[in-house]
Amino acid sequence: MKHIKTDLLVIGAGSGGLSVAAGAVQMGADVTLLEGHKMGGDCLNFGCVPSKALIASGKAAWGQAHASKYGVADVVPQVDYAAAKDHVADVIAEIEPNDSVERFESLGVRVIQEYGEFVSDREVKAGDTLIKARRVVISTGSSPFVPPIPGLDSVPYQTNETLFELREQPKHLLVIGGGPIGMEMAQAHRRLGSEVTVIEGMKALGKDDPELAAIVLENLREEGIQIEEGALVSEVRGKEGAIEVEVQDGRVFKGTHLLMAAGRKPNIDKLNLEAAGIETTRTGIKVDAGMRTTNRRVYAIGDVAGGLQFTHVAGYHAGLIIRSALFGLPAKERTDHIPWATYTEPEMAHVGMTEAQARDAHGDALEVARFHYTHNDRAIAERKTKGLIKVMVVKGRPIGASIAGYQAGELINLWALVIANKLKMSAVANMVAPYPTVGELNKRAAGAYFSPRLFENPKVKSVVRFVQRWLP
């Protein structure tokens, strides 16, 4: 058994773990990194990167079939599903070196390609190596949650961890779960030529603003995706190429392939957390506001910490850990400035409080500034006018923004900046946006907030009339 002492042990080489390891080693810490599966974690190999690559393939096919509105003849796209998956693999391969063992070893990180298991409050076993660390960061992420549905154990199904290796195009894809992953993959496959049925036990995109979710869902249905809500699955049966999903009210949906997209679960099974005195909750490892576990020497970040499950959140957590574990400075997580996006078309993005949350918290003090895409000249030119931006404002300060529409994931960046730095609506109103851009929507939303104060205020009109009388 080899014995290693290290300043910082990072368990899990996903986005959060890699950020901690790279930052810490470049600041002079002795860093050891454990990864028993693939460097880059879920985001690079099974999540953000491959899903967006497949979405791009679907967008290209859809564009060919719906070009006539731009004066270009529609054509029937010749989709090669296996080649689309080659495109996905190429995208992963292009990004992969940045997350590789070689790169991190070149930075000075000690990389051990084994899973880690606590054997005491300060010691972790990884293969034939025992590691004693001053501080430990758990960044093991999450994996697909597969509910115990009767019959599922004898029926072939895909998850996001297997879908991108599938080479045979589904003739009819059944998707259990109407959250972001389910809806993104539903649209990508529909645009590539598959029939698609989404089966959701409650409301599709149910965690998002319902007004904005309705815009997205309407478009998905118009593209031919069958979305069944209030459909709790009671049984799955069949075989490859002939699968049936029955729901509690007796409806039966038939397809050739099944994708399970019913949520995520934290990757904690291999860690032996009890040996380190680390407590867990229903959603993951229990942490305080500084991401510290019930073992004061151990932190947990990203999906495994049971909070918001986004790659950029893990990266944000990594910054907190660098501050706390390396410099001993106070670090406290905040979530009010964390944005997220769903990459359907139209996209949907959000930061801060939703309208419903803001009304509960602030009541009549809340004002909601709204602006529709139909009034944006660039959106009109692009034929992308389905969309709405809403900004929740209290005493002149934005506390939330929600957008559904073209490039919503890009537009939300400005509001994330505004909320993170506690800026006022006047900061956005003072911005000059180039014309014609979709980004003008943000400025126009700020204008919608100030317009009633300027154009519908009798006092303003009185002042203007008075000044006009005396101006030379």
339-357 per-position pLDDT tens digit: 999 999 999 999 999 999 9
Asked if residue 351 and residue 244 are part of one domain, the reply reads: no
Indicate the range of 41-55, 324-338, 388-402 predicted with least confidence. 324-338
Domain boundary among the residues 208, 238, 263 is at 263
Asked if residue 278 and residue 140 are part of one domain, the reply reads: yes
25: domain CATH number is: 3.50.50.60
Q: Is the pLDDT of residue 424 over 70?
A: yes
| Coil/strand/helix, residue 1 | coil
Indicate the range of 10-14, 55-59, 278-282, 326-330 predicted with least confidence. 326-330
Going along 224-373, which residue ranges are E strands? 226-228, 233-239, 242-247, 252-255, 257-260, 264-266, 298-300, 339-342, 347-352, 366-372
Query: CA–CA separation, 200 vs 350, rounded Å?
Result: 22
Q: Is the pLDDT of residue 328 over 90?
A: no
Asked if residue 183 and residue 156 are part of one domain, the reply reads: yes
Q: How many domains does the chain have?
A: 3
Asked if residue 427 and residue 451 are part of one domain, the reply reads: yes
Provide the residue count of the chain: 472
Asked if residue 345 and residue 322 are part of one domain, the reply reads: no
Asked if residue 415 and residue 381 are part of one domain, the reply reads: yes
Mean pLDDT of all residues in the chain?
A: 95
Choose among 286, 271, 12: nearest CA to 120.
271
Cα dist. 237→80, 186, 198, 258, 312 in Å?
29, 21, 17, 11, 38
Residue type, 264: R
Q: Residue 7 sits in which domain range?
A: 2-39+100-144+265-327
- Domain-embedded: residue 318: yes
CA torsion angle for 179, 183, 185, 188 (degrees, to 10)? -160
Asked if residue 179 and residue 125 are part of one domain, the reply reads: no
Asked if residue 298 and residue 205 are part of one domain, the reply reads: no
Tell me the mean pLDDT in the region 174-201: 98
Asked if residue 407 and residue 376 are part of one domain, the reply reads: yes
Asked if residue 122 and residue 241 are part of one domain, the reply reads: no
432-459 per-position pLDDT tens digit: 999 999 999 999 999 999 977 766 667 7
pLDDT score of 460: 63
Asked if residue 12 and residue 116 are part of one domain, the reply reads: yes
Choose among 85, 276, 241, 95: nearest CA to 155.
241
Asked if residue 417 and residue 354 are part of one domain, the reply reads: yes
